[in-house]
Structure 1
Amino acid sequence: MRTATFLALAGCVASSRSLAEVPNPQLLPTTQAIHATIAKTPDPEASAMKAYAEKVKLAGDAAIDLVPVSGGEFTLGSPESEPNRKPDEGPQKKVKIEPFWMGKMEVTWNLYRPFMENGKARNKDGTLNRDSDLTTSEAPAVKDGE
């Protein structure tokens, strides 16, 4: 579980890309240190995974409720015989996931905003604009209360 989560967050470092291709090579030692900490921390037993709340300091100590999601194997996609099935709903495939925690509710803009609006220029899709130190005209407009 830990390794899969780490790879999802730092895929560029785990791939066969050269250091010159890594978007922020100066962060590589930090990423490696985080991975080492994650890798040496044992996974909790499934029975020990209980719901809990985490305080988010950057969002004024707002609490985010997390609930455990059991791991296991399931079939992804719908059967061809399903009424009103769309072409992108198949083919079916067996998928195995490790247990993980998920937010009980969707993350509000007030909770997410401190992480999104960090003073760095963004592209229209929200990704960091690495070509400019200025906000582009394509940057998304975020209004209070969204």
Structure 2
Amino acid sequence: MILLTPELRAVLRANAIATHAAQAEGRREPDPFPVVKLFNPCGAATWLATELDDDDRTLFGLADLGFGSPELGYFDLAEIEAVRLPGGLGIERDLYFTARFPLSAYAEAARIAGRITEAEALLSTVARARQLRTPRNPEIPRNPHG
């Protein structure tokens, strides 16, 4: 299976470009929705990717190798593509995955659940809580005294 189509690569690259631009300009980094979900059909490993670096192989997102401690970070597409599983299987792309929340919500829900989850109630609660913590106007700093 081709894990990243040209269309997916384009969206992942655009997200990476937006993040790098925000960093260079000192702005708040975007919180994009995951673009692709990769998974091990024989195990618990799951990856939600939001960005693809210009080397065309380094992805950024949420990685869960099934040990109860999912984390945000970078992972190598070539390594994921090289995985060989029983029966000649490899890592697959969830063709039906559509992100409904930004990556930060998936990361917080995964921290709570101990794994990447698509539990609607948990993700909705986390997303709402994150909105309450985000200032409506990012130009106005939060008051450090309450």
TM-score w.r.t. length of structure 1: 0.30
* Bigger-Rg structure (1/2): 1
Greater percentage in helix: 2
Highest RCO, 1 vs 2 (Cα 8 Å, sep ≥ 6): 2
